[in-house]
Structure 1
Amino acid sequence: MENTTAQQPSTVDPRTAILNGYVLHVLEEGKEPASMFKFAKSLDMQESDIYTYFTSFTAIKSAVWVSIYDATLKQLEEQEVYATYSAREKLLGFLFTIIEEWKKNRSYLLSLYGHDPKALKQQFPEEVKAFKGKFRDFANELILEGKETDEIASRPVISDRYADAMWFQLWFVFRFWIKDTSPGFEKTDAAIEKSVNLAFDLMGKSAVDTFIDFVKFMYQSK
């Protein structure tokens, strides 16, 4: 969702007007509105109009996160070459693309998460849960693809945690990026590449897996 810089035209649907209005308020005030009543008044709406779409500011923030996810996935799927990517390349593509979406909303995200150490320490802010659910679905698809191509190894118990590991990696990238002051966020780019390569090296078939397979083979061949 891109930042808005003007009052919403009448052609914008109410849900989008609420989202854009909320982002605009945070950008201008550096914090969320004091109350839903005041927020509705600033949009020339009734408070009950907002409750038709969102029951709290947390729900609005959640919708902003989901819109960022949807925009990221849309950009990826519009690239014909994306379908030919390996699981590793798809995760890299997702992370580099979502960084671009975050950049469009950096001032908004900094206002909410950049000045509060507690906000960055939280692994699961309430408003990020829907975004997390969508990303986990995406991660599980990558894991299935990776297993089919032997890019990712199937391991008892551990395999069930791969999607969680990818989520922690995404949240790590967000927290790294929100604090990154390097030109062009070049340090974040490096962090993405190094962390994804490490993750897939760990999830891939290692010498230990090969040894275990050999031992099993020898035992079953007796």
Structure 2
Amino acid sequence: MVAIVLSSGGAAAAAPVDVPPEVANLFACPATAPCNGIVLGEPKPVYDLNGGYSTDKSADPRGSISQWIAVAYDPAGTVIGTDSAVLRNGTWVLGDVYHPPYDPTVITRADGLLQVPVDGAALYALNGDTISGIYGQATRRVPSPTTVESAQASVTAWARQAPWRNPLPDAPTNPILVGVVGLGGAAILAAFVFFTRPQRRRPASPEPEHGARPGPPERGAL
């Protein structure tokens, strides 16, 4: 999984993304949602990687929005992790609080995140026209904030070194290679979920779960 944070001020900076009303309502934790006193911060978009970014057809790494994520706080205002929502059967569903292997407050300083599951659970942070790695392969590929343009070769090195591993729209369509990619990608995602399973920290409640923690095979836990 890869997440990217972009900072303001550059030519590649993206326009602000409006939070869908139904997503905003989920993160506001209304009485109808079993938040059990947990307070969620401002939701930020989580992007899939733009296929054109790895093939030099686009200078923008942001693809479609696959999740919304926010920092989770206890009633006293202490950071306790993150929470995110995914789209299931046409409805946004909020997951459980997760304790990520990176500083959750990076989300408060980011415009959004970008994930690339096929790159060994790499995670970046995006803010305007800058990007920096915050977990996994990303911390090696882009160890400090740099421009999206300058980081393009590093962020997509996995695709450039072995183009057949790239499952994005611009990848080759050789049916044999596609099959290999599918099996390899599934193994990578399964391993990532096993070692980064979310810890449920919400108080016990008689209410039913309001949604499983977002994770593969749809997406990796953030």
Q: TM-score, normalised by structure 2?
A: 0.26
Structure with larger RCO (C-alpha < 8 A, sep 6+): 2
Q: TM-score, normalised by structure 1?
A: 0.26
Q: Name the one with the larger strand percent.
A: 2
Q: Name the one with the larger helix percent.
A: 1
